[in-house]
Amino acid sequence: MIEWYAVRKGTTANEFLTRNKDVKKLSYKTEPSERYGRLWVEDIYGNSVLLITDIPDGVIREVRCYAPDDQSFIIFLLVKQKSSQIMPEESPMFFDWKTQVY
């Protein structure tokens, strides 16, 4: 099962990693279109979470998590530190909201 969330009013991936010592970078790749980056991170609980970022500004646009990992701690940090708004994939507004300019 995939948990997928759009992030609005987020932070850059570099700021997020710098401010949160409980999260470490595992790997980073750019998509073939070079429009988005794919940053895998791991939290202190051992959960691996995929952050989708814009290129070149590095703003986190999505949080994806694959079972059995849990994205709750990463989402908590995004909301707590930057007052990010999180939209779950199941929401009917997800794709409209995801394509908005931030």
Query: Exposed, middle or buried: residue 96 (CB in 10 Å: 0-12, 13-18, 19+)?
Result: exposed
Which residues sit opposite 38 in a β-bridge?
Answer: 29, 52
Instruction: Give me the tens of pLDDT residue by residue for the chain, a chain 102 residues long.
Output: 578 888 887 789 999 999 999 999 999 999 877 789 999 999 999 999 999 999 888 899 899 999 899 999 998 998 887 777 777 766 655 555 445 543
pTM (2 d.p.): 0.81
Smallest Cα–Cα separation from 62: which of 95, 33, 20? 95
Kindly report whether the peptide bond that precedes residue 32 is cis, defined as omega within 30 degrees of 0.
Answer: no
Neighbours of 92 (CB within 10 A): 7
